Structures are given as C-alpha cells and as structure tokens.
Amino acid sequence: MLTLRMLLGEIRHRKLNFLSALVAVVTAVALFVGVYTTSEASRRETVRLMRNMGFNLLILPSDTDMANFWSEDFAREEMPEEYVYRMSRAQGLSIQHLVARLQKKVEWRGRKLLLTGILPELQMHYLPAKSAMSPSIQPGTVYLGYEIWRAEKLSVGDTIELGERSFRVAKCLEEKGTKDDIRIFGHLHDVQEVLGLSGRINEIEALGCLCGADSLATIRQQLAAALPQTQVTEFHSLAVMRAETRKMMDQYAALIIPVVVLVAIIWVGLVALGNVRERRVEIGTLRALGVQSGPIAALFLGKAVIVGLSGGVLGFALGTWLALHFGPRIFPLTAKSITAMPALLAWSAGGAIALSVIASYLPTVQALVQDPAEVLREE
C-alpha cells in the first residue's frame, strides 16, 4: 500500500512526466491497432486494385503461330469452346476468372475492325464465387469501341447490322488508346453465329494465382496435364507489377510498426531516465536511510506498469476509432471487412506494459546502482 501511495503521489507531482510517457505508449499502441485492424482490408484492396488491372494469362490453341499472334493481337487458330468449361472443372489449376473469346478481323461499313465475342466469366468450380473482372454482355447487344461510335455517330440505343442480324448498342466505350477502340464486342454465341464459327473460340483470358519467377512454368505444367491441346503465355510486365506492388505493401506494413514501437521505447526510456535524474537526491536520501533496492525498483517499474496499462487501453480505443472512422475512406472497395477486434485489447495492454517496462529498465538499474553518499555529497 505504501508503494502504491508513493506511485500515485509521484504521478500527481510529476504530471507532465507521466503524460509524456503515456502519449508515447498510446501513440505506439494506437498505430499498431489501427494498422492491424485495417490490414485485411488493405490486403484485399491491393488484391482488388491489382485484379482490376486486367488478366495476366492468355490460353491459346497449342498450334498458334505466336509471331502472327503478336503482330495481329489475336490467334488465327481456333479451339473448341468446350475447353473453357473443362478448365473451370479441372482440379489443381492455379488460375481463376476464365473468359473465352473469339475475335476476327472484319470489314464493316467500309472500315476494318475487330469483332470480338465474349462469354460471361466462368469461375473455377472449387473456389468461392468472386466478382467478375470482365463485362457480361447480354445476347443481342453490342459494345462499341471509341473510334467506331465516334466516327459513325452512334449512341446507346441505336441499332446496327452485323451479318444478317441486328444488334442494339448497349454501351459506347471510352477512349482507351488500344485496339479496343476499334472493336465491336458482343456475346460469344452471337459473334460465333455472325462469323459462322459455332462452338469455336481462339483464346481464353485468365488470372494467374501464383507469384514468383517459376509461376508461369508451374501453370504451364498444370495446364499441360489438364488440357494438353493448349498453350499459355503471360503478360510479364503486368504480372511483375502485381507481384511488386503486393510485396511493397507487405513490406510497408512490416516496417512501420517496428519503427514506431522502437521510437516509443526510446521515448519512454528517455522520459524514465529524466525522471531518475530529477530524483537523484530523493533516491540517494532513501538509500542512505536504509531503504532497500526492491521498493525503489517497484516505484519506477510500477509507474511503468501503470503507464503501459493506461496507454494500452487508451491506445486500443484510439486505434480502433481511427480504423473504423478513416479506414472505409482509405479502402472504399473493402470497407466492410474493417471491424473492431476486441481480442486485440489484451494484446495491446500486455504489449504496452512490456514496452514500458523494457524502456524503464535501464533507468531503474541506474537508480539502483548509484552511490547515495556520492549523490548527497554533490548536493
């Protein structure tokens, strides 16, 4: 009880010293709780943004002439539409978001353009359903590339003729600065009918789930076993960008918390050291009167425990509020995954106490080893 009264008296007498240490602990804990609470949203947001960059794999017929493919931006060779359904049912493929396409060069209204049929996206049957990456074009409708609708002065709701069929313009696409500006997109089965290629496709777009230098080789091995009549190529720059961005975000989160904790330890340690120096005469007097090291250590370390416990609780509350208040604004796509985590309260309090005690240890040792006679003689 005497030690507790001394502790409370010390805190009342040196409020600024106590508040300075408390602010350091609250800051460290709040940042840790805020980052940890939003970490899942951050990871999902990064994955979503990287996913929105587009597909990074292209599955083509095994006999595709790649020189012609890269020069024309589509494969002349074809394969059965059934392949995409077989892929979605296959086991052990490290891919997802399958989109079968058929595209050919055609002449329409005196213009050469690309007619592209897209099948609504298929998910791997053993994976949970995810939001689609590509548009789902309804049968009987088309999307027009920027250069096409601008040159022909077409708008949404107009009707155009392709072959012997009429189609309603469902969307006029924005300028992209790619070959998509000279494409007409339609439902795969409609385009197959227009081109007289029922049940045929010439590429399957997909999103690879692996990262690393050997990811493409691994996917090729998997695909060779599941569908040997195909080959796969990767948009390397896109895959590298995805991997590097995810790595950067992981490293950022892994770096910022230790740095803040280290700064907080140094901060609390300096505050404790200043407290020891301010109380040199008081400590020397107590030692000269025969007070043992235990009560003096309890005075300093007990204060550290109070600072840590208070800072842990307040830091948890502040960090949770910051995460819930600002998290949805920072990560709007995955805001629903940001929720309070009560289990972190115990970790916050325990970690803050440990941080405060560690920071106060060396100043406490210094207080215990100083010679009371020398301190009093100096004064």
User: CA-CA distance, 354 to 358, in Å (whole number)?
Assistant: 6
Mean pLDDT along residues 97-121: 91
Contact between 115 and 104 under an 8 Å Cβ cutoff? The reply is yes
Least confidently predicted of 39-43, 142-146, 159-163: 39-43
Report the pLDDT value the prediction gives residue 343, as an integer from 0 to 100. 82
Domain boundaries, the chain: 2-49+244-378, 57-234
Strand partners, 201: 79
Tokens of 248: 């950067």
> Which of 33-37, 193-197, 277-281 is the least confident region?
277-281
The first and second tokens of residue 211, run together, are 């990262």
Inform me whether the pLDDT recorded for 137 exceeds 80.
Answer: yes
Kindly report which listed range (10-24, 60-74, 111-125) carries the lowest average pLDDT score.
10-24
> How would residue 177 be classed by pLDDT, with cut points 50, 70 and 90?
confident
The whole-model pTM stands at 0.57
- Which residues, including other chains, have CB under 8 Å from residue 49's CB and lie 6 or more apart? 333
Res. 132 pLDDT band, cuts 50 70 90: low
**pLDDT higher than 90, residue 140:** yes
In the chain, what is the straight-line distance between the N-terminal and C-terminal CA atoms, in Å? 31
Name the more confident of 17 and 91. Answer: 91
Q: What is the SS3 assignment for 320-343?
A: HHHHHHHHHHHCHHHHHHCCCCCC
Q: In the prediction, which pLDDT does 290 show?
A: 62
Note whether 150 and 192 are within 8 A (CB). no
Determine the Cα–Cα distance for residues 120 and 61; give it in Å rounded to an integer: 20
Please say whether the beta carbons of 56 and 208 come within 8 A: yes
Confidence at residue 1, expressed as pLDDT on a 0 to 100 scale: 47
Least confidently predicted of 14-18, 95-99, 281-285: 281-285
| Span of 47-61, 67-81, 241-255, 355-369 with lowest mean pLDDT | 241-255
Please determine, for residue 363, whether its predicted confidence score (pLDDT) is greater than 80. Answer: no
- Contact of 41 with 331, CB cutoff 8 Å: yes
- State the Cα–Cα distance between residues 269 and 304, nearest whole angstrom: 10
Is pLDDT above 90 for 6?
A: no
Burial of 134 (0-12, 13-18, 19+ CB in 10 A): middle
Q: Residue 2's pLDDT is what?
A: 47
Alpha-carbon distance 293 to 299, whole Å? 10
The pLDDT of residue 205 is 87
Degrees, nearest 5: CA angle 197-203-205? 135
Alpha helices, H only, the chain? 2-13, 15-51, 66-72, 82-89, 146-152, 188-195, 215-226, 236-278, 280-288, 293-330, 344-369, 372-378
Order of strands, sheet of 159-162, starting from the edge strand that comes earlier in the sequence: 159-162, 165-172, 141-144, 183-187, 111-118, 95-108, 203-208, 57-61, 230-234
Higher pLDDT, 298 or 379: 298
- Percent of the chain residues topping a pLDDT of 70: 67
Mean pLDDT of 171-182: 90
The predicted structure's pLDDT at residue 249: 60
| pLDDT at position 130 | 67
The residue among 8 and 50 whose pLDDT is bigger is 8
